Structure 1
Amino acid sequence: MSDPARPQRIDFSGFEAALRRQAMERAQAARTPTVPTALAAGSRLTEVELNWIEKKLEHWIRFGRVAQERIVTRRTRVMGFRPGAIFAFVRWASNDFGTISSRIDVVRAVGDGEAYTTLPFVRPGGDILLHIEGWPKVAQVLATIDAVELAGVDPCNAAPDHWRHVHNRIAAGQQPRPYTRERHRAWLKRREIEG
């Protein structure tokens, strides 16, 4: 039995271990860049930051040729796209009461010296071919992308003008024209001529 007048020895070993672990985690976080930049290490890629918090915040690429992928954390990845690449970037967020925002952008990655429009989570930005907000319209764009794939065309190879057309028709509350193999062949011929 211990003497009540004598002070008890407190074991701090667990506390010290926790402090050491936190210090190591902070040092690791300092070495890992959390804000990627498109021009880091001489890169000419357009970078898209994807975040995923189940049923709260979800960003994903619907289509596009990824040139580089970097995992930042368990919930964050960065995808890099070469200049001229076309990709679809979907952003969705919700709270306890349901969806609060949903957006889709079809973007063409830009090269050095090209003009671009800034876009959240896209560095430095891009040539925005389509920008739609609101889940019913976003679902309509996703169905249009599915239709392009059913026509046997990779959506990232489709004519950029088609995505502008889809944007304008959906914004006006009308149905976009389908993207057919014939339209795709015409686009490929036009691209050959323009050179």
Structure 2
Amino acid sequence: MTGVRSGPRGEPVRTAAFSTANTEVELIWIEKRLEHWIRFGRVAAERIVSRKTRVFSFRPDAVFAYIRWTANDYGTVHSRIDILRAIRPGEAYTTVPFVRPGGELLLSLSGWPKVRAVLNAIDAIEAASVDPCDVAPEHWRHVHNRLSAGEPARSYTPERHQAWLKRKALEP
């Protein structure tokens, strides 16, 4: 698949277009300065770019948690967690830094107390023997809304998960 763009004199120049349907996430790790990592998600492929940079690829509809953290000499400057669903070709998406092309944003919170609360919610889901990748998208939206409002989120129980799986089985 190719695209066409204009060259320096206005002539058409053929370029390779984004040929994969996968969503790519660039992970950077500069110890104690800049750290990007995946908390959960089913990685379809991994490409090592350098000692400090890797690119993970996720298939369409895969759900993953992406954490970005930055610090300086005085401590944490920025922390953020995004839980996204990898999009299918042609679907609308939200752009997120270091995620190409983007994804359906299920949760997006910044500030270490909120990020820690989401990490605790993920730990609780795993303690209930449920894979966070399989959790109902509505639960991540619920967690986002409750934590944004400064309220605790409901826990995700195995019963809620079974109800989600039954609803999902009814979808065409």
Is 1:83 matched up with 2:56? no
* Deviant stretches of 4+, over 4 Å: none
Partner of 2:82: 105
2:141 to 133, 145, 164: 164
What amino acid is the match of 1:162?
H
2:51 to 70, 74, 89: 74
Is 1:181 matched up with 2:166? no
Separation in 1, partners of 2:54, 2:85: 20
Separation in 1, partners of 2:99, 2:17: 14
Query: Between Structure 1 and Structure 2, how many residues are aligned?
Result: 157
Separation in 2, partners of 1:41, 1:91: 25
Q: Which runs of 5+ in 1 are unaligned?
A: 1-38
Separation in 1, partners of 2:61, 2:150: 29
Is 1:126 matched up with 2:103? yes
Identity of aligned residues (%): 65
Partner of 1:194: 171
Partner of 2:25: 48
Please, what is the CA RMSD of the aligned residues?
1.1
Partner of 1:141: 118
User: TM-score scaled by structure 2?
Assistant: 0.89
Partner of 1:22: none
Greater share of helix: 1
Whichever of the two has the greater Rg, that structure is 1
**1:42 aligns to what SS in structure 2?**
coil
What amino acid is the match of 1:53?
I
What amino acid is the match of 1:52?
W
Partner of 1:95: 72
Greater share of strand: 2
